Amino acid sequence: MNSIQKRFFMFLGGCIPTRILIGYLGKKYYNHKDIKILGYITMILALGFIYIFTFGSKRADTQLEWSGEKKIWWNNYRIIHGILYIIFSLNILKNNKDAWKFIAIDTTIGLLAFLHHHNVNNNYSKLF
């Protein structure tokens, strides 16, 4: 498996399904007494995204060194990611039945940005 294949596998097989799961849990269990745990977890994640966007993190910025990229390409999206997760968190903590929509928006933006990045860099030809 080459580095592009690994990146596609990790993103499409790990990151996107995780986001879908968070959205699903928010939609299905928005009124469950334990859903607040998800709200607190996603709030911590959101604050982490915003912190890394604002102050940087050598470890986070170089997480793709194994693939030959010196710095991750999605850093500028972290602020959007963080804001959408904060909005989701606040809404799920209020048991808002529509909170999941913010994760759906985040997932869509993330997927489109991923596909666009790999299209611009001609990485689809390296998949097979």
- Is-contact 106 46, C-beta < 8 A? no
Distance CA 42, CA 90 (A): 9
The answer to whether 100 and 26 are in contact (CB under 8 A) is yes
Per-residue model confidence as pLDDT tens for the chain (128 residues): 898 999 999 999 999 999 999 999 999 999 999 999 999 999 999 999 999 999 988 887 777 776 666 678 888 899 999 999 999 999 999 999 999 999 999 999 999 999 999 999 999 999 98
> Residue 90's pLDDT is what?
99
Assess contact for 64 and 10: CB atoms under 8 A. no
pLDDT number for residue 13: 97
Residue 65 is predicted with a pLDDT of: 74
Q: What is the pLDDT of residue 61?
A: 75
Annotated domain spans of the chain: 3-126
Angle among Cα 95, 96, 102 to the nearest 5 degrees reads 120
pLDDT at 75: 87
In this prediction the pTM is: 0.90
In the numeric block, which tokens belong to residue 55? Answer: 């102050």
Question: Phi/psi class of residue 32: alpha, beta or left (left: φ > 0; alpha: ψ in -120 to 50)?
Answer: beta
